[in-house]
Amino acid sequence: MRVVNQRLWLRRESGVILHLGDSGPLVGGAQQALVESVYSPGLEEIGRGYFGYGTQDAIRAFQAAHVGPDGHALVSDGVIGPSTMWSLQHPGGGGQRYTSPSWRCSPSDTPEVVRPVIQWAFDHIGVHEEPDGSNRGSEIDQWTGMVGQPTNISGPAWCAYFLSAAYTQTEGGSPFDTLASAYKIKEWGRRTKKIVNGLLQPGDVWIILRGDLHGHVGLVGTVLDISSVATIEGNSGNAVRGLVRMTNTFSCVVRPVLA
């Protein structure tokens, strides 16, 4: 079955819920969509059309970096429900909506020390991959160091590069230079004792880890309430987006500078 047919099948079956232990052509279609979005479940599971731990990890990573049909961040639970199924078909987020409906952020109201970081990130909302799914684009290439590379070469996942570029706006430059992954930012936070617990604040860096080495990372723009924050994050639905995330979905939080 060709990829396009798998995708059409997924679209028709958008109400189906798939989870660990399932198998069959519909799982295979979801796995193909994951591969096309550069999230590999592993060759063994793809070959069997089996929803194993590799597929579960790939779904969690995909969910952490994509939005559903309502424009809100997906819940990173490793289950393919209707919203995740929709997002597998629309990895770019279904058009030019770059902020969640309930998202709000005013950089001028943030602490002075992190205001340049949040303002820079805010100003880049809407920057997106060209073409979609390539991890490339004129501004994205500057962040990832891909300037001058042939356009047919895909770039690296760029959420951490975007975060690093935002933090170069602080006085004296980024406290962690350029880090290429959520895991490396987490490790920097551990080494420098910058991992925090309790109430978050603008400028904090949240991390959603997948396994030991991979994940997604973004910036707290505004604290909405005790359980949710408005974020600014790169490589989310293949663009820089402003989303609302629940704080209990974060693996850890790093505070690069005291606000």
User: Could you read off the pLDDT of 81-124 as tens digits, one per residue?
Assistant: 999 998 988 887 765 578 888 899 999 999 999 999 999 999 99
Instruction: Give pLDDT, residue 42.
Output: 83
Query: CATH topology for 107-254?
Result: endopeptidase fold (from Nostoc punctiforme) (3.90.1720)
Domain 3-89 and domain 107-254 have a common topology? no
Q: What percent of the chain clears pLDDT 90, i.e. is strictly above it?
A: 56
Please check the confidence at residue 214 and state whether its pLDDT lies above 80.
Answer: no
Q: Identify the pLDDT of residue 5.
A: 39
The domain ranges of the chain are 3-89, 107-254
230-to-130, 221, 227 alpha-carbon distances in Å: 26, 6, 11
Reported as type and span, the H/E element at residue 235 is strand 228-236
Q: Please tell me the CATH code under which domain 3-89 is placed.
A: 1.10.101.10
* pLDDT range class, residue 47, cuts 50, 70, 90: confident
Give pLDDT, residue 40. 76
- Tell me the C-alpha to C-alpha distance, in Å, between residue 70 and each of 21, 85, 101, 139: 28, 13, 8, 27
pTM listed for this prediction: 0.78
